Amino acid sequence: MSELSELWRRCYGNLPPQGARLRKRLPDRWLRIHSLQGGKRFAEGVDDEGELLARANTAASVVLGEGQPVWIIAASFELEPPGQLPELAGQLLVPAITCEPDEDLETRAVFHAARVNWQDGVFDDVILAVAEDRRRVIWMNEQTGEVFAPYDGGIDLVLTHRARRDALREQWKAWVSTRKDGM
């Protein structure tokens, strides 16, 4: 897993692979989109779940690349022994990135990862678990370093540069957060 660790450090330095931390430290490359119309936070039924998954899969397929190799990354406390996400049966995540304590991270954290190919719909159970605030998981494009970081209520994207962020903000303007800090 030193390959991922090296890639992560090259793209993000000592920041931990957490959407909220990346958003805070890289505002010029960050874009937030809502998972549901009107910024509704949680899905209330199958129609909402369908919309949430459609937006997530669309954004992820653009940022990660359909069929492309990506890293799925989760903190060790998000996993069940032996390093698995229950929503992604049979996929083992192994220790890949260690982050030391800093002003935001109270203790040493170990993040586990697995190389997977992004496929629209394959990770729906994981995305729904994140949307329901039961998991925290991110995906990273192996070639570009771009990050897809869903959360309960939306998706944070960390892109290669401001121009790409601005282009996607325009493309998805109906989905973009209108909050001042949501760009």
pLDDT in tens, 45-86: 889 889 999 999 999 999 999 999 999 999 998 898 889 999
In a domain, 152, yes or no: yes
Tokens of 152: 């309960």
Tokens of 50: 């369908």
In a domain, 13, yes or no: yes
What is the rounded average pLDDT of the residues 131-153? 96
Average confidence score pLDDT of the chain: 91
In a domain, 180, yes or no: no
User: Quick check: 182 pLDDT over 50?
Assistant: no
In a domain, 181, yes or no: no
What is the rounded radius of gyration, in angstroms, for the C-alpha atoms of the chain? 15
Please tell me the total count of domains within the chain: 1
Q: What is the pLDDT of residue 114?
A: 97
Domain that holds residue 168: 2-175
The pLDDT-based confidence of 95 (bands split at 50, 70, 90) is very high
Tell how far CA 7 is from the center of its chain. Answer: 16
Q: Residues 142, 69: contact at Cβ < 8 Å?
A: yes
The percentage of residues in the chain with a pLDDT greater than 70, rounded to a whole number, is: 96
User: Quick check: 1 pLDDT over 90?
Assistant: no
Beta-bridge mates of residue 176: 33
What is the rounded average pLDDT of the residues 132-161? 96
Amino acid at 139: W
Tokens of 75: 């903190």
Given 3-state DSSP classes, what are the helix, strand and coil percentages for the chain, each rounded to the nearest 5?
35, 25, 40
The sign of the dihedral angle between the CA atoms of 142, 36, 161, 103 is negative
pLDDT: is 73 or 177 the higher one? Answer: 73
In a domain, 182, yes or no: no
The pLDDT-based confidence of 4 (bands split at 50, 70, 90) is very high
Strand, coil or helix: what is 6? helix
Strand, coil or helix: what is 84? strand
Tokens of 49: 């779940």
Q: What is the pLDDT of residue 183?
A: 45
Q: What is the pLDDT of residue 119?
A: 97
